Structure 1
Amino acid sequence: MTAADRARVLERLQQGRSPAEIHAEFPHVTLGQFAALADTKGLTRAHHGSSSAAPAVDLDPHLARALGALAWAENSHIPRNRKLASRVREGLDELLAAKDKADSIAAAEREVAAAKKKLDDAETQLRNAKNTGQDDKRLRNEIRAWAQSQGLTVSPVGLIPQDVMHAWENRATARPTVPAQRRPSTR
């Protein structure tokens, strides 16, 4: 974090803005850096008790101390402290990368689940569309069988004649009249 960024972040912390708001404005600055800066400048809730009037970052006091120590060690004149701070920072970066990866995997799993649901819905819709044709075929076969039992001549394939369809639709109300040309001959 540059000195100018540090000053602007500190100003926003003092205004009482949340770390999330500040992070949106400064995406290259980590939340840990915000917390360390807040701790070193006495802006955490741990410094102000539970008073909501004080501009403070809501941060675990132990974490605030640890981040403050990290910021101190990174700027220490003792090489051992700087080296330790560097290793801690690398470890934190690894943790952040692992969390980002886990978040990415979780987001991909949600997308896959949504895509599977959409695919299942589409397959159900396709199955229903295909079954509709099967139902139509069964109905046509039923009409043909009924027509033959009534003495009507019906082709086993193709369209069912309109007079046969009319007779089928009125089968419950009256005995259909069979047209003369369709009656089987009794010779």
Structure 2
Amino acid sequence: MTIAALRALLEEEQPDVRRHPAPWIPHTAHRHKETTVSVTAVPPRPEPAIPVGQLLAWADTHQDKKIRDHSERARVSLAALRERHQADEELAELELQESELQKRLNAVRDRKSELLPAKKPGRDYDPKEVRAWAHEQGLTVPDRGQIPKAVLAAWRERDGQQS
């Protein structure tokens, strides 16, 4: 087991124990008979991060005005990030609700169409066109109301159409 693996195990088992960072060892290759062994350094463990609130409190009371200004800008940025994060969370929830409502609406519409009586098919002709044609042919057709079936049949047969 390598030193790096041992350090990783120690970090997993005892994450709160502070350890001195390992010294930097340059990458070298050693020849031992016919095998080459590489030795690489483990990068030093980064210092634990200071909680943001603690860091801002320290900066608020710092004697350097630039540090206090950084603190104020950081607070403004954090507030903007919190607001945007909250808005994004709400948008995601609304999109989920919208999707669920759309699915439910589609199911309701499908069921409604199943329950409604079937509509009669629409006309396959324009009454004005049929009346005009009938007048040209010398057929009797009323100006309003239902067109006689015989006139419709003759109109459909004019070009070899049958319905």
For Structure 1 versus Structure 2, the TM-score category normalised by the shorter chain is 0.3 to 0.5
Higher strand share: 2
- Which protein has the larger Cα radius of gyration, Structure 1 or Structure 2? 2
Normalised to the residue count of structure 1, the TM-score between the two structures is 0.36
Normalised to the residue count of structure 2, the TM-score between the two structures is 0.40
